[in-house]
Amino acid sequence: MSGTRLPAPAGARLDRTRPLRFTFEGESYRGFTGDTIASALAANGVRVLSRSFKYRRPRGLYSAGSHEACALVQLPDEPNVPADRRLLADGMTITGQNYAGSLARDRGAWIARFEKFMPVGFYYRTFFRPRGIWRVWERVIRKRAGLGRVNPKTPHGYHDKAYAFADVAVIGAGPAGMAAALAAAEAGAEVTLIDENPEIGGALTYGRFDADGRAADEALKRLAKEVREHAAITVLTDAVCTGLYEDNWLAIDQGRRLVKLRARDIVVATGLQDGIMVFADNDLPGIVAATTVQRLIWHHGVLPGEVAVVATQDEWGYTAALDLAEAGAEVSAILDTRDKPSDSALAKLAEERGIEVLSGWMPERAEGETEIERISAVPVDEAARETEEPRNIECDLLCVSARPTPAAALFAQGGAKLPFDPARGVHLPTDLPPGLHAAGAVNGETDLKRVIADGERVGKAAIAGETKPARKTAKKTAKKTATTLPPQPMLEHPEGKSFVDLDEDLTIGDIRDTVALGYQDVQLLKRFSTLGMGTSQGRHANPPGVTVAAEARGDEIGQVGLTTARPPLAPVAFGTLAGRQFSPVRRTSIHRWHVEASAQMMVAGAWLRPAYYGPPDEAESRIQEEAVAVRRSLGLIDVSTLGKLELRGREAGAFLDRLYTFSYQKLAVGKSRYALMTDETGAIIDDGVVCRLGEEHFYVTATTGGVDEVYRTMLWWNAQWRLDVDITNVTAGYAAMNLAGPASRESLAKLCDDVDLGAEAFPYLGVREGHVAGVPARILRTGFVGELGYEIHAPTGFGLDLWQAFMRAGEDAGIRPFGVEAQRLLRLEKGHIIVGQDTDGLTHPYEAGMDWAVSKKKPFFVGGRSIDIMRARGLTRRLVGYQIENRDAPLPKECHLVIRNGEIAGRVTSSAVSPTLGHAIGLAYVPPELDAKDGKFEIRVEGARMVEATVVPLPFYDPENARQEL
Amino acid sequence: MKIMDCPLNGPRNISEFACRGEVRTMPDPDTASDAQWADYLFMQTNPAGVAREWWIHLPSSYWFIAERDTRTGEILKTYPPDELFKRPNRPMSSK
Amino acid sequence: MAEQRTAKRRSFVEQRLGRLEHPGASARVGLADVSLRPRLGVKGIGTIGWMKRHAVTVPENDNLAVAHGAAMLVARLSPSEALLLDTGGGKVMERLAASLPPHGDGGAYPVPRMDTHGWFRLGGPDAPHLFAKLCAVDLRPEKFPNFSVAQTIAARLPVIIIRQNIKNAPHFHVLMDSASALYLWDCIVDAMAEFGGVVEADTDPRGDD
């Protein structure tokens, strides 16, 4: 059929002065600003939008609320776009999804002919039998799984996230939601009203609640005006609430922005969602939900068919029939599944217009090539079917008003129960937790006046902090109401498929088969059959699915239960979830200098540090040159990333003694000492240096990556010990640089004249406070790289200028900045460990050869007892230094395995070629019996080649430690 | 996102906090047997009911104690550690 | 001979980014790097006693600030920690800093907040909306009254946010790890583009009492 546009007042969302051009499947079409993709296609008579998931059947628009996956289309940069929600844009290039060749003639549709070989649960069955069959099917399934195609070249769009806050959040801006928002706002609450549509009003914007439609119009005008004018109500439109999380935390998808809203109270007024009517080939394009027909007419000015049949299970179908008739369509018949003829004003009006009403009838089968051409209708009652002939009715539109279900998924996420209410034939929320409220149609109300009154009541209850739900349990209501609504009738026909789940292509038979296989529990049934696991998370599929299951089990519907629709309730783009990338980066005060000096920056924890200076293709030689410069003359490295802690107070020394393996209470003022920290299991977790600046003042360094945890751990212990010590993390407060090399003393002397730098006045491991280049500084004589050297700590604000002063002062000595790589090499030559590289989560000090760092005199330190136990049991491995004499052997890498007698006996933790020694050296864990000079072992390097290594005592370089103590 | 009520900073998203496990009492390291010590290190009570746990508010580095019902996830109360640890409470021997 | 006083104190943003341009003022939201203004941390069980001895106005509660005349904003972070921010350019801060030796005074210890923390100031009616894109604490004027203090996380970074009215308009002082100052600066500049926010010069931040 060709589409027809209707004049105003139909098409309220359209701006007809702004036409848009677009293409679908290569054909050019026109639409208007305000059209959705689906409405523009409907206006052009295009009905087949996609192919179905499993059988590749043609599918078109059914519900206009994304309650099933039939209207998902492909944009060049975006798959699975809901055509019923996405607004049309000028120049859009749109295609269908899930087909090969063309949408009209899908080469992949052969799969439907193999239906009998693909029973329900096919996917799971391929895992098991016959053995190995998964390998065969995997390629086919992987290729065919999913719907749209991802374009990997799509640029990352700008998506962000925002937090929002409200006293009361109301989800759904229909009559109940608007009334609730107004009642709460009137009572003084700050209210946020959320709706997925571009305007507020919900069903009032297209629905006809009485014969002349006046009640809806009046309610809309009044409520929408009051909402818009109320200062305490914030309205979020085009906003889909995709999940309800703990403590009333809502995820709201606004396309480019994900809003995370925290509300004290939440009112769910999400109304009803379209059901489907189950008969043979109930998926043919041209079968459209009644509310969709009304939205197409009133929102988009599209008449979706010329000759219509309406199939209904309630009064709503009559309103759609009247809308269609008044818009100019011929309505051939209304099939009302209910036995008793309706005597409502709506029904009378329909009959007055000459529409034939068949009570107790429904479609048995829909027919047509790729879209609907005719239906055959039969009586619902089986006995009557024996006597009555089926009626064949020609039509190009079958407008379906199946029993709608409350959109109640958010209640289940919020912890409420959703029992089946036999009186209303739907699952309704009960046992709502505090702060969660239901209003309107989700409470089972359908009469407009009562819906609005329910909204007002709930809005007031929300602000009053009332938590009592409207209906305590479904059972009590059921007692009052004598009647039980019969289950939805469903029909099958040997020549067609009666779908209960359009997303997953599941039929009545599939559900029966699943139950027959023993998957009776609703949770198992869902997982085996995949019922409700598609894009729409069971919104349309759960009610008929559960009905079939109940019948197959011989149970009441209420006993089958319902699975929880998990968040996200609507598909969310990955870009929205990824959002803006917040990943804090820490830069030292000297960062810009490093970058300008061509440093290659590396990540160390959250910090950026120079790995080496120079182009990457010269990395090896640059690193060696930097190391040699330190050994021969002078180097400068930025060590600002070191953790730095101030510990002050009467018991600061006692505190350090409990925390570190060494003892510090007797450390002299002006001296420093190595600090090794273990956890309670005795494993090494950090190291650094403790400097005593005063009787009750210690300055402690920690590793770059470990300091935050060390700081928290110190505070945690003292929250229990309650010693008189104040602990402060001042890591970012001090720039630190290590001036190292034989020329360091004379170079530092150029900048510092208030500290005696003489070897005796300021010996190795001494600590002094003075001024460098006029800046107050703490100067530590350290030996990490094994040369005469000074670590200068000065306020960060002066860091850059101080660095530049050192570079100038060291010019005569050929000063060279060096990076982390050269530092690692230099410290390896000295046999110093790096915690986390040379230790793992189990390494204790004795294994690491650090007996010397463990005090044997202290009464207690964290980890001490565990270390004693492990030492008594004997070592199982030991960290040793090794060298490789064969200079042609390949260089082992960290984590290469130590092999003895064909077995894994340890691993390499550090490895490098020493420019000073001229051969490869490293650290490795080996069996303790190898811990002897000249012990030999093999390392398996890349390509399974074996390299022989010899254990040598540490340090490799300057074993007398003479150079650092100059 | 759950809310935790920090005794210092008030109610905040749980993502501002980290948990360090149950509040436990260290046995005397000088007198405890190896088995008792190992039990202290590696065995958690893990009750199905009210658990008393250490939590830290990360931006302010503030440690406190939370009582939480592990069956429901409900945080029952939070309080500063000095309600449990009063000087001179020294959980280890000083020989 | 030692090279004296060649080093200059630089702001953390400037140090890492080079020279900052100050394009002007915005009606909606403005961001200023005020990291060069003096500030001092005081910490330890003797903190409040020390403040009283030195006639520093003590906020009544934790996470509350108070204006110490026009000279200074005093924020109390816990029962044993305070942050003093120079808002008047007077000599008070200098005098106080000189009276708190590194080893402490009666259980109060100085913390070099001038260097551990960067300091930004944000103002304008859209500032709370800007923060809503970075931070989960509700900073709207009616929910975060004048002199409120929040120790929280913005853009995954620990921050201290202090509200102070300046010329009757709400402003926010934001303090963060100085090494991450540029990171947060970039996050804020990006987040404020939507509101037409601009970078402002460090004008007189003298607040209302």
- Do the bridges between strand A697-702 and strand A767-772 make them parallel or antiparallel, or are there none, so unpaired? unpaired
- CB contacts of A729 in chain B (<8 Å) are 61
DSSP per residue, A626-660: HHHHHHHT-EEEE-TTSEEEEEESTTHHHHHHHHB
The model's pTM: 0.91
Nearest-Cα distance to chain B for C7, in Å, is 32
Beta strands in A313-355 (DSSP E): 330-336
Yes or no, beta carbons of B59 and C153 under 8 Å apart? yes
C126 confidence band (pLDDT: 50, 70, 90): very high
CA distance B65 to chain C (A): 17
- Which of A202, A171, A178, A174 lies closest to A265, judged by CA? A171
**Percent of chain A whose predicted confidence (pLDDT) is above 70:** 94
Query: Which residue type does A448 have?
Result: L
The number of beta carbons lying within 10 Å of the beta carbon of residue B32 is 16
% of chain A residues with pLDDT over 90: 77
Tell if the CB–CB gap between C6 and A805 is shorter than 8 Å: yes
For residue B12, the chain C residues in CB contact (below 8 A) are: 136-137, 152
Predicted confidence at residue A725, as pLDDT, reads 96
Rounded to whole angstroms, the Cα distance separating C30 from C197 reads 5
Q: Would you call B31 exposed, middle or buried from its count of C-beta atoms within 10 A (0-12, 13-18, 19+)? A: exposed
Among A640, A588, A612, CA closest to A822: A612
pLDDT at residue B88 tops 60: no
Indicate yes or no: CB of C7 within 8 angstroms of CB of A649.
no
* Mean pLDDT across A721-726: 95
Tell me if chain B has a CB within 8 Å of the CB of A580. no
pLDDT of residue A3: 64
- The one-character DSSP state at A803 is H
Q: Compute the residue count for chain B.
A: 95
Q: Find chain C residues with C-beta within 8 A of A801's C-beta.
A: 6-8, 10
Of A19-33, A429-443, A481-495, least confident by mean pLDDT is A481-495
The pLDDT value given to residue A519: 93
Mean pLDDT score, A308-317? 95
**CB atoms C7 and A750 under 8 Å:** no
Is some CB atom of chain B closer than 8 A to the CB atom of C153? yes
- pLDDT of residue A330 exceeding 90, the answer is yes
Q: How large is the average pLDDT for residues A898-913?
A: 94
In which residue are the tokens 């975060």 written? Answer: C144
pLDDT(A658) > 80:
yes
**Cα dist from A559 to A41, A421, A427, A506, A550, whole Å:** 43, 11, 12, 22, 8
Question: Closest by alpha carbon to B83, among B64, B60, B57, B56?
Answer: B64
Q: Which residues of chain A neighbour C190 with C-beta distances below 8 Å?
A: 580
Rounded average pLDDT over A355-371: 94
Q: Give partners of C (≥3 CB pairs < 8 A).
A: A, B
Mean of all residue pLDDT scores within chain A: 92
Q: Give the pLDDT score at B89.
A: 46
Q: For chain B, how far is it from start to end, CA to CA, in angstroms? A: 47
CA angle A462, A466, A469 (to 5 degrees): 95
- The whole-number average pLDDT for the span A880-891 is 94
- Residue B95 confidence (pLDDT): 37
Do the beta carbons of residue A729 and residue A645 sit within 8 Å?
yes
Which residues 728-747 of chain A have a CB within 8 Å of chain B? 729
Q: What is the reported pLDDT for A569?
A: 86
Would the CB atoms of C153 and B58 count as touching at under 8 Å? Answer: yes
- Site from A580, A581, A587 to mutate, C interface, most C CB atoms within 10 angstroms: A587
Interval C73-87: pLDDT, tens: 999 999 999 999 998
Q: Give A775's pLDDT tier (boundaries 50, 70, 90).
A: very high
C162-191 pLDDT, tens digit per residue, is 999 988 889 999 999 999 999 999 999 999
Whether omega before A584 lies within 30 degrees of 0, making that bond cis, reads: no
Q: Is A721 on the interface with B (CB under 8 A)?
A: yes
Chain A interface mutation, best of B22, B36, B43, B63, highest count of A Cβ atoms under 10 Å = B63
Would the CB atoms of A859 and B94 count as touching at under 8 Å?
yes
Q: Which residue has the tokens 């229909």?
A: A174
User: Does A123 have pLDDT greater than 80?
Assistant: no
Q: Which of C152, C161, C174, C177 to mutate to test the interface with B (most CBs of B within 10 A)?
A: C152
Of the residues C111, C151, C159, the best mutation for testing chain B's interface (the one with the most B CB atoms within 10 Å of its CB) is C151
What average pLDDT does this structure show over A706-733?
A: 97
Instruction: Tell me the residue length of chain A.
Output: 966
Report the residue of chain A nearest B31, measured CA to CA: A865
Chain B residues with CB under 8 Å of a chain A CB are: 1-3, 20, 29-30, 32, 34, 37, 41, 54, 56, 61, 63, 73, 81-82, 85-95
B87 contacts A869? CB cut-off 8 A:
no
Q: How open is the CA angle A129-A130-A136, to the nearest 5 degrees?
A: 100
First to last CA, chain C: 50
Q: What are A454-505's pLDDT values in tens digits?
A: 999 999 998 886 655 444 444 444 444 446 778 889 999 998 999 999 999 9
Restricting to C residues 34-53, those with a Cβ less than 8 Å away from any Cβ of B are none
Out of A167-171, A683-687, C107-111, C124-128, pick the least confident.
C124-128
Contact assignment for B61 to A715 by CB distance below 8 Å? yes
Q: What gap in Å lies between CA B90 and CA B93, rounded to an integer?
A: 7
Decide if C6 and A773 are in contact by the 8 Å CB cutoff: yes
In A554-705, the DSSP E strands lie at 599-604, 607-613, 635-638, 643-648, 672-678, 684-694, 697-702
Q: Residue A127 CB: number of other CB atoms within 10 A?
A: 10
pLDDT tens per residue across span B13-69: 999 999 999 999 999 999 999 999 999 999 999 999 999 999 999 999 999 999 999
For range A534-538, the mean pLDDT: 84
pLDDT at residue number A145: 65
* Digit-coded pLDDT (tens) for A594-644: 999 999 999 999 999 999 999 999 999 999 999 999 999 999 999 999 999
Q: How many angstroms away from the CA of C71 is the closest CA of chain A?
A: 23
Whether residue A144 is predicted with pLDDT greater than 80 in this model: the reply is no
Which one-letter DSSP state was computed for residue A440?
G
B59 with C78: Cβ contact below 8 A: no
- As to burial, measured by CB atoms within 10 angstroms (0-12 exposed, 13-18 middle, 19+ buried), residue A225 is exposed
Nearest-CB residue to B58 (from C63, C158, C160): C158
B68 touches chain C (CB under 8 A): no
Q: With contact defined as beta carbons under 8 Å apart, do A61 and A127 qualify?
A: no
Q: Highest-confidence range of A418-427, A531-540, C107-116, by mean pLDDT?
A: C107-116
Beta sheet of A789-795, edge-to-edge order: A767-772, A775-781, A789-795, A734-740, A635-638, A816-817
Non-local (6+) Cβ contacts of B2 within 8 A are A246, A247, B13, B14, B73, B75
**Closest partner CB to C182 (pick from A587, A795, A797):** A587
Distance CA(A312)–CA(A324), nearest Å, equals: 14
pLDDT of A466: 61
In angstroms, the separation between the Cα of residue A235 and the nearest Cα of chain B is 23
Digit-coded pLDDT (tens) for A72-108? 999 999 998 999 999 999 999 999 988 777 777 776 6
Largest Cα–Cα separation, chain C: 60
Mean pLDDT of A523-527: 93
Instruction: Return the pLDDT at A139.
Output: 72
Please give the residue of chain A at the shortest CA–CA distance from B42. Answer: A681
Contact, A611 vs A602, CB < 8 A? yes
Whether residue A553 is predicted with pLDDT greater than 90 in this model: the reply is yes
Q: Which of A649, A700, A645 is nearest to A672 (CA)?
A: A700
Interface predicted TM-score (ipTM): 0.95
**Tell me: the pLDDT tens digits for C127-154?**
999 999 999 999 999 999 999 999 999 9
Mean pLDDT of A803-820: 97
